Structure 1
């Protein structure tokens, strides 16, 4: 008599697998994530994408209103009218909670005058909700008039003790910038900004930020009525300094605690009037080629400029030179 094999165990295993598969196909796993994790995930998205993502799950429908990051960009919607409506709805519907970071960036190029009221509204909202990191870029506009000025954008803001990081693009930094009340700033990034104050040819814009540790200056320029100016960078707590294409300036640096200096500059515009860097650990120097760089007269002048820079960084523990800088020296 032939005995039959019992496949009960296999049947039970198959049932268990089917149950697991059925359960995994119907369970809304996103809904079971802790809310802080959900907020953290959505904080990496721009605000329009965060609102859309909130529709993936019923329990997420209002999650975007809790997200502590607002990333508003002009490219998010087609047309300025739609953008204004979207921004107004976001600011009015979001829960009355503090924000960690707010960004308003004109990456389409509408021009500041076409959406100045909306930008000012976003800035006021950010400060009324104790923003810690603020990014404002008005977009490129060749007409830098009074409406671009820092005093116009931030004029009503006084005695701010919660802003730690500020990034500015295409804004005119006037004399109001140095007296803005942002005394707790630790990081400042200034890109493509006009430096226009009532200080004459000598600019000292950063002396009133006693806790500033990181400073990045890129592609800044003077008004068309000036060809050259002196820029003083000082800070008792400044640790990291980056200078990129600051072509119109003779730069003086006095920073007793600076440990890192990064310079990217055209050779013909390289100018440092005085460098006092007693704590410098690392200097990263990169020079860009310009027309006529191979002439003997030009090379002699560039060697003199580089020598002046090297005297200022002579006590650095490490020095990194990029290719063309070495070529000029040799």
Structure 2
């Protein structure tokens, strides 16, 4: 007759019971770790839904470091209420790292967007991303009421920016990305919109331009290190960036008529010109364009030019 070891039986039963019931080890983690985990969810709405799990999770979503506000599964009115609820429930003394106001699939209320911007400014937001799907989601002029802002990164897509955009107080901004944006040219300051961004290091301008494409566009960047200009509509481009290391310029249709580039520290330049269309300028005018462009790149340690550009140079 065999005799069972009672200790062994208890251990086995204990393991089985533990396996059956389970242990919530996730809830035992510190708040800041759980809030970081919630920030990785695809939208803040998912974070809010975790509040029903238990008392431990009830208020964690209110202090997540990243807010992702998306219109999916919302109507315009319900989205406005949802955003208002999320912002109003966040503690006043709780700063935020990033706000993604993105993936918008219907036109948004301008006042709602301005409320998000003011919220970002008042909560020391370091990165603001606004990327709508709909071409007309941000068709009205946008105003950024930042004063002494901690904002480090700003990304905007498909927007018409108000006159005075460069005077909004982006004193700490280091990365600016504008895609399919219209810039005003009402005043002299509008033609040099980044002069008051003293810390700007990375600037990306993609498919942007002035309301009047005959404007002369100035970029003064004392700290600028990386500059990407893709299909920017202007008659003349002037750049003064004493610390610029990388310059990418790409144009699909009509190259800027005249360049004045002062880039004494330039390391690498990447110039791509896709075969021109709807450009009726004669050979002499095109020659002046290319000469002014290449002269401004003479300090570059390396220079890349695409095949189409070589063909264009051969023609002129």
Aligned to 2:116: 122
Q: Does 1:250 align with 2:236?
A: yes
Q: Is the 8 A contact 1:186 1:212 kept in 2?
A: yes
Aligned length: 310
1:215 counterpart SS class:
strand
Q: Is the 8 A contact 1:47 1:71 kept in 2?
A: yes
Q: Is the 8 A contact 1:267 1:302 kept in 2?
A: no
1:81 counterpart SS class:
helix
Partners of 2:303 and 2:236 lie apart in 1 by 22
Aligned to 2:245: 259
Aligned to 2:150: 162
Partners of 1:329 and 1:230 lie apart in 2 by 24
Partners of 1:298 and 1:7 lie apart in 2 by 100
Aligned to 1:221: 209
Structure 1 unaligned blocks of 5 or more: none
Aligned to 1:66: 63
Partners of 1:87 and 1:143 lie apart in 2 by 17
Aligned to 1:268: 254
Moved more, 254-263 or 158-167: 158-167
| Alpha-carbon displacement from aligned partner over 1:127-184 (angstroms, at most 9, x marks no partner) | 222222122356532995xxx334xx33xx3532422222223333333212212222
Q: Does 1:37 align with 2:21?
A: no
Q: Does 1:103 align with 2:90?
A: no
Aligned to 1:186: 174
| Alpha-carbon displacement from aligned partner over 1:289-327 (angstroms, at most 9, x marks no partner) | 34489x9x9888767644432322222222333443345
The two structures have a TM-score, normalised by structure 1, of: 0.79
Partners of 2:118 and 2:190 lie apart in 1 by 31
The two structures have a TM-score, normalised by structure 2, of: 0.83
Residue correspondence of structure 1 range 1-330 to structure 2 within 5 A: 12=8, 19-20=14-15, 22-24=17-19, 26-45=22-41, 46-55=43-52, 59-74=56-71, 76-96=72-92, 97-105=94-102, 107-110=104-107, 112=108, 115-137=109-131, 140-141=135-136, 148-150=140-142, 153-154=143-144, 157=145, 159-199=147-187, 203-223=191-211, 226-266=212-252, 268-291=254-277, 305-329=289-313
Structure 2 unaligned blocks of 5 or more: none
CA separation of 1:116 and 1:201: change in aligned 2, threshold 3 A: closer
Shift of 1:53: 4.4
Q: Is the 8 A contact 1:202 1:229 kept in 2?
A: no
CA separation of 1:313 and 1:78: change in aligned 2, threshold 3 A: same
Q: Is the 8 A contact 2:238 2:261 kept in 1?
A: yes
Shift of 1:185: 1.6
Shift of 1:81: 1.4
| Alpha-carbon displacement from aligned partner over 1:51-77 (angstroms, at most 9, x marks no partner) | 234545652232111102212122x33
Shift of 1:234: 0.9
Partners of 1:24 and 1:302 lie apart in 2 by 76
Shift of 1:263: 1.7
